Amino acid sequence: MSAWGSTVAALVRAAQQGDTAAFERLYQMFAPMVHGLLVARLPLDEVDDIMQDVFFTAFRQLGTIREPAAFGGWLGAIARQKAADFFRRSHQTESLDAASAEMMARSGELDTRLDARTILGHIRQLPETYAETLTLRLVEGMTGQEIAAVTGLTPDSVRVNLHRGLRLLRERLGLGDSYNGKTDGV
């Protein structure tokens, strides 16, 4: 088990014994991952509320985790389930691009923020594995090593997901072949 995995396992075991400071540390370590997974799936104005729900559910169900070192994957599964639950119970909503364009036109921020939201919209249309990895890298600013550590993926898998995801994203954005192939040296 890696040093990261050992640390996570120790924190999970402590949190299972009622140590709230250990759970707070887990929150600090995994909040960027959960946020990124939710941003890849949900309307942006829903992310914070559902993120709180993910961690509340994790706290309540902490005793059910069988392998404490696998906390990141377990937490990611809870986040994905909460996102799916949101869409099962949600009402008809405006598309991200239409809603954000109208909002930003009123606020005078149409230029740069619409571009970022448009790109995020394209990322969300990629296969789930690529969308998650790209969101963790591009939105949350996590390195390849950090993504591997929190998700339980191997560094090679992260590198492949970033490379393939960026290639698909570039194709959808019509950016040609100017990409240099570097995904951050996982």
At 179 the pLDDT is 47
Q: Residue 35 falls within a domain, yes or no?
A: yes
Q: Residue 128 falls within a domain, yes or no?
A: no
pLDDT at 54 over 50: yes
Domain of residue 77, CATH code: 1.10.1740.10
At 105 the pLDDT is 45
Q: Residue 117 falls within a domain, yes or no?
A: no
pLDDT tens digits, residue range 130-156? 998 988 888 888 889 889 888 888 999
Number of helices (H), then strands (E), belonging to the chain: the values are 9, 0
pLDDT at 182 over 80: no
Q: Residue 44 falls within a domain, yes or no?
A: yes
At 64 the pLDDT is 94
Say how far apart CA 27 and CA 9 lie, in whole Å.
14
pLDDT tens digits, residue range 63-109? 999 999 999 999 999 999 999 999 888 644 444 444 444 444 444 44
Confidence label for 176 from pLDDT (cuts 50, 70 and 90): low
pLDDT tens digits, residue range 110-135? 444 447 778 888 888 999 889 989 88
At 161 the pLDDT is 92
Per the structure, the count of domains in the chain is 1
For the chain, percent of residues with pLDDT exceeding 90: 48
At 53 the pLDDT is 96
Q: Show the CA angle centred on residue 153, arms to residues 79 and 66, nearest 5°.
A: 60
**Higher pLDDT pick, 59 / 178:** 59
Q: Residue 179 falls within a domain, yes or no?
A: no
At 90 the pLDDT is 67
For the chain, percent of residues with pLDDT exceeding 70: 81
At 119 the pLDDT is 82
pLDDT tens digits, residue range 163-172? 999 898 888 8
Non-local (6+) Cβ contacts of 127 within 8 A are 165, 168
Cα separation values, 97 from 68, 101, 115, 121, Å: 40, 6, 10, 8
Say how far apart CA 106 and CA 86 lie, in whole Å.
28
Length of the chain, in residues: 186
Range of the domain at 30: 1-93
Q: Residue 131 falls within a domain, yes or no?
A: no
Please, are residues 30 and 71 in contact by the beta-carbon 8 Å criterion?
yes
Confidence label for 183 from pLDDT (cuts 50, 70 and 90): very low
Tokens of 92: 């008809």
Q: Residue 99 falls within a domain, yes or no?
A: no
Q: Residue 48 falls within a domain, yes or no?
A: yes
